């Protein structure tokens, strides 16, 4: 097969934005390889039947659009949220990139409505948060909703399809390197495809693969944190003091007992709790739809842990905890906060007696204290108490906790500000490279790598 100028591994937001940027100006020969299915074939059975079919790879996280296709589509317009890109490009550059990426999302149909723009109200909530021992990160959010994200990613594909080659259902198994310079890829079905530049954008789904490849190629990954916690579900009215003006309240609390950082994550007003499967492990997540509203709001409370010597396996640790929940609950466990406080499991009857009606009905009523270490349970309880001062009712006995939610942040590789690895012309971007954890920064990372390649190819002319 003829060689490519650029091969992009993974068609999540990072890979797609790299492709959009690369095909904007120059006539480069670009190929995208995606191990999951094309966007129209990405049917998640759990969404229609309520039961996870454990597809391999998971239709939620794999396929055209990556994890972004089924994501809640909350574009967070702040350089403080969604990753560590500022460590590579600086705060000012990142702000500019976020503006640029936001413009592209709007060009492809993102709504003009932005939440969290009223400085006065945000300021008042920040004061209240401080009094409750929390920090409220001010942030503006453009919310697409899961359904609209899908349309936007389809439109991006339609723009790209005539300008480059796309192969879905093709997994890259090896990155080929010759004389310290990237040379191409070997796919799972045995194709050797040569390429002058490789952009590895495999997302969380492919983070372990990238890690293994990096080690094989002699690159030394640096450990990232792992975030472990629960998804909290309450009647939407309870969270309205926060969601009405902020939409996505980002609150950070430092626990008194362990000095751990606990944060709210992925707040889904009027949304649904959902499951997600990676490598046979089911974890919990949440969505809200632009057109379809429920009476509940859900959000994650996550405790961040960075392990120190000699432990090097934060992802394995997170998976171990998630597996434990799956072992005890055959999937996701649900527990009423009152039952957790009283030290007994929830039963279907106890859940039914509660005033919060679960939006995810496949979870097994159980006891999260058998799954999460005491440290996490204690941190989560403390944060719920603090949150109750801003949104009274959050710490109610009827609040539902689903477990576990785990966010694995891939090990990071040593990267240049252009996101090039120590191997010439091999770039590692997005969530899979461990440098981002959200749509905006992952998309921005694609732009950075693409611009670096465009710069290097135009210099060579």
Q: Is 285 in the site for ligand FAD (CB under 6 A)?
A: yes
Q: Least CB distance from residue 119 to ligand FAD, whole Å?
A: 23
Q: Is 277 in the site for ligand FAD (CB under 6 A)?
A: no
For residue 177, the cross-strand partners are: 182
List the interface residues with ligand FAD, window 65-94 (CB under 6 A): 66-68, 70-74, 76, 82
Torsion angle, CA of 142/144/146/150, rounded to 10 degrees?
-130
Q: Is 145 in the site for ligand FAD (CB under 6 A)?
A: no
* x/- track of binding to ligand FAD for residues 288-327 (CB under 6 A): ----------------------------------------
Instruction: Name which of 66 and 403 has its Cβ closer to ligand FAD.
Output: 66
Cα-flanking dihedrals φ and ψ of residue 76, to 5°?
A: -90, 115
- Judged by CB under 6 A, the residue of 8, 9, 236, 387 near ligand FAD is 9
CA distances from residue 237 to 118, 228, 269, 270, 342 in whole angstroms, order as listed:
20, 26, 9, 9, 25
Cα-flanking dihedrals φ and ψ of residue 250, to 5°?
A: -100, 105
Structure-token pair, residue 370: 């058998």
* x/- track of binding to ligand FAD for residues 381-420 (CB under 6 A): ----------------------------------------
**Element spanning 134, H or E:** strand 134-137
Torsion angle, CA of 127/132/138/140, rounded to 10 degrees?
-110
Cβ proximity of 133 and 257 under 8 Å: no
Structure-token pair, residue 181: 């310079």
Q: Is 196 in the site for ligand FAD (CB under 6 A)?
A: no
Q: Is 228 in the site for ligand FAD (CB under 6 A)?
A: no
Instruction: Name which of 78 and 396 has its Cβ closer to ligand FAD.
Output: 78
DSSP calls for 260-311: -EEEEEEEETT-EEEEEEETTEEEEEEE--SS---SEEEEEEEEEE---TT-
- Judged by CB under 6 A, the residue of 10, 116, 331, 366 near ligand FAD is 10
- Judged by CB under 6 A, the residue of 12, 229, 271, 329 near ligand FAD is 12
- Judged by CB under 6 A, the residue of 19, 55, 284, 439 near ligand FAD is 439
Q: Least CB distance from residue 209 to ligand FAD, whole Å?
A: 5
**Tokens 């039963």 label which residue?**
347
Instruction: Name which of 302 and 351 has its Cβ closer to ligand FAD.
Output: 302
Structure-token pair, residue 339: 């039952």
Q: Which stretch binds ligand FAD (CB under 6 A): 64-72, 175-183, 256-264, 355-363?
A: 64-72
Q: Least CB distance from residue 111 to ligand FAD, whole Å?
A: 13
Q: Is 32 in the site for ligand FAD (CB under 6 A)?
A: no
Q: Least CB distance from residue 239 to ligand FAD, whole Å?
A: 16
Q: Is 193 in the site for ligand FAD (CB under 6 A)?
A: no
- Judged by CB under 6 A, the residue of 115, 142, 171, 381 near ligand FAD is 171
Instruction: Name which of 27 and 222 has its Cβ closer to ligand FAD.
Output: 222
- Judged by CB under 6 A, the residue of 209, 247, 265, 360 near ligand FAD is 209
Q: ∠ at Cα 374 (371, 379), nearest 5°?
A: 110
Q: Which stretch binds ligand FAD (CB under 6 A): 96-104, 204-212, 400-408, 410-418?
A: 204-212
Q: Which residues contact 212 (CB under 8 A, 6 or more apart)?
A: none
Q: Least CB distance from residue 452 to ligand FAD, whole Å?
A: 17
Other Cβ atoms closer than 10 A to 192:
12
DSSP calls for 406-449: EEE-PPBPP--TT-B-SSBTEEE-TGGGTSB-SHHHHHHHHHHH
For residue 415, the cross-strand partners are: none
Residues contributing to the site for ligand FAD (CB under 6 A): 9-15, 33-36, 57, 60-63, 66-68, 70-74, 76, 82, 171-172, 201-206, 209, 266, 276, 285, 430-432, 437-440, 442
């Amino acid at each position: 097969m003829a060689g490519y100028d650029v091969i992009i591994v993974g068609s999540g937001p990072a890979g797609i934005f790299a492709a959009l940027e690369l095909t904007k100006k120059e006539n480069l020969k670009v190929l995208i390889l995606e191990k999951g299915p094309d966007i129209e074939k990405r049917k998640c059975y759990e969404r229609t039947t309520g039961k996870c079919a454990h597809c391999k790879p998971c239709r939620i996280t794999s396929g055209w659009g990556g994890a972004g296709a089924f994501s809640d589509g909350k574009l967070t317009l702040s350089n403080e949220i969604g990753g560590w890109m500022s460590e590579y490009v600086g705060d000012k550059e990142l702000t500019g990139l976020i503006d640029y990426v936001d413009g592209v999302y709007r060009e492809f149909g993102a709504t003009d409505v932005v939440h969290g723009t009223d400085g006065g109200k945000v300021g008042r909530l920040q004061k209240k948060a401080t009094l409750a021992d929390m920090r409220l990160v001010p942030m503006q959010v453009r919310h697409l909703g899961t359904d609209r994200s899908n349309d936007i990613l389809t439109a991006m594909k339609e723009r790209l399809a005539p300008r480059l080659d796309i192969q879905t259902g093709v997994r890259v198994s090896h990155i080929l390197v010759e004389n310290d310079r990237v040379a191409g890829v070997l796919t799972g079905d045995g194709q050797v495809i040569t390429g002058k530049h490789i952009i590895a954008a495999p997302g969380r789904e492919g983070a372990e693969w990238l890690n293994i490849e990096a080690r094989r190629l002699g690159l030394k990954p640096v450990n990232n944190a792992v975030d472990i916690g629960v998804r909290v579900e309450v009647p939407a009215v309870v969270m309205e003091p926060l969601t009405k003006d902020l939409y996505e309240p980002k609150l950070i609390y430092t626990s008194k007992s362990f000095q751990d950082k606990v944060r709210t994550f992925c707040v889904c007003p009027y949304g649904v709790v959902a499951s997600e499967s990676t490598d046979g492990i089911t974890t919990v997540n949440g969505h809200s739809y632009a057109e379809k509203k429920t009476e509940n709001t859900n959000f994650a409370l996550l405790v961040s842990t960075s392990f120190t010597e000699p432990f090097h396996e934060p992802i394995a640790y997170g998976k171990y905890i998630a597996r434990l929940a799956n072992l005890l609950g055959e999937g996701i466990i649900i527990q009423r906060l009152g039952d957790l406080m009283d030290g007994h499991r929830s039963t279907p009857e106890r859940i039914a007696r509660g005033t919060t009606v679960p939006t995810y009905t496949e979870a097994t009523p159980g006891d999260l204290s058998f799954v999460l270490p005491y440290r996490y349970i204690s941190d989560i309880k403390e944060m719920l108490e603090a949150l109750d001062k801003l949104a009274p009712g959050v710490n109610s006995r009827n609040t539902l906790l689903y477990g576990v939610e785990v966010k694995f942040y891939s090990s990071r590789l040593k990267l240049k500000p252009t996101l090039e690895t120590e191997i010439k012309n091999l770039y590692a971007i997005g969530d899979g490279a461990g440098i981002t954890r959200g749509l905006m920064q992952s998309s921005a990372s694609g732009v950075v790598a693409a611009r670096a390649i465009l710069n290097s190819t135009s210099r060579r002319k």
